[in-house]
Amino acid sequence: MDKMLVFDVWGDYAHFRRFYTTTSPLSFPIPPRTALCGLIGAIIGLEKEDNDYLNYFSTESAHIALKLLNPIKKAIIAENLIDTKTARGPGMNLITNRTQIRFEFLKDQKYRIYFYCTNKEDIVYQKLKLNLQHHKTVYTPCLGLSENIANYKFIGEFKINILSREEDYIYIDSVLPLQKISTTEGIIFESEGEYFSIRMPVELNTERIVTKYRDIIFDRNGKPIKVKLIESFTNIIYPEGGSESIVFIE
């Protein structure tokens, strides 16, 4: 039976910029898989400037899932951006060139992240496990922007079952790609649910070019979604009781 690392991460604010926005930066409502790779890279100390680190996070070798623990809330905050390229002078306080931009932030967000490697000797898996156990990071973890500092808690390393697709409907606790859902019978939309889907980047190459996108569906309040799958899913059984069914973003 395989094992998986599970940890929670949270922060006062988060911003995962939609790269196609211009003057008023909007945020993806949930962190893209690429942002989760960056967060894990910060915890274990992979150099962001060295794009070779992205090789560790291909969808073939690193499997990541995401669960919402808090409802999605948004806030608009105006920020003064200073022109550091053309500024001259001994201090930042002397810079007079400023542009006020309205940023869309996510407020009071908390996520559960699941990380799985088929090779348990993988350097990323082992470093991440060690740092999570000792609550250590090499670089400061953040939720999108450097000023959105995040905290985290290691939930544990748990045994998992990777199961074939179900013939019947099941509840999935994580966000999930639409291509893993049956196109004919699909999703059962329940009256109390608040469902959203969005196209998001999933994988980058070493030139930081997006090589894979996925349409991701989720409930705004983090409630499980009842679906019929056409691909496998993962079941986690917690020692203290309870279980979760998740689908990897890939």
Per DSSP, the three-state class of 14 is: strand
pLDDT at 70: 97
Residue type, 198: I
Query: What pLDDT, on the 0 to 100 scale, is given for residue 86?
Result: 63
Q: What is the phi-psi region of residue 156: left when phi exceeds 0, alpha when psi lies from -120 to 50, beta otherwise?
A: left
- Residues composing the chain: 250
Whole-number Cα distances in Å, 48 to 31, 43, 129, 141, 207: 18, 12, 20, 12, 12
Strand partners, 14: 106
Q: What's residue 249's pLDDT?
A: 94
CA–CA distance, 185 with 187 (Å, rounded to integer): 7
At 54-76, the pLDDT tens digits run: 788 888 889 999 999 999 999 99
CA distance 122 to 34: 19
No. of H helices and E strands in the chain? 2, 13
What is residue 81's predicted lDDT score, i.e. its pLDDT? 80
Q: Which of 198, 239, 167 is nearest to 66 (CA)?
A: 198
Each residue's pLDDT, cut to its tens digit, for the chain (250 residues) gives 589 999 999 999 999 998 876 667 899 999 999 999 999 999 999 877 666 677 888 888 899 999 999 999 999 998 888 776 665 556 666 677 778 888 999 999 999 999 998 776 788 999 999 999 999 999 999 999 999 999 999 999 999 988 887 678 999 999 999 999 988 778 999 989 999 999 999 998 888 888 999 999 999 999 999 999 998 899 998 888 889 999 999 8
Provide the residue type at 160 as one letter. Answer: I
Q: What domains lie within the chain, and their CATH numbers?
A: 2-74+101-246 (3.30.70.2660)
Judging by DSSP bridges, how do beta strands 2-14 and 98-116 pair with one another? Answer: antiparallel
Residue 39 pLDDT: 95
| Single-letter residue type at 184 | T
Q: What is the pLDDT of residue 1?
A: 59
pLDDT of residue 73: 97
Residue 88 is predicted with a pLDDT of 59
Q: Answer yes or no: are the C-beta atoms of 111 and 10 closer than 8 Å.
A: yes
Query: Cα angle at 126 between 124 and 131, to 5 degrees?
Result: 95
pTM of the model: 0.91
Smallest CA-to-CA distance from 201 within 190, 214, 191 is with 214
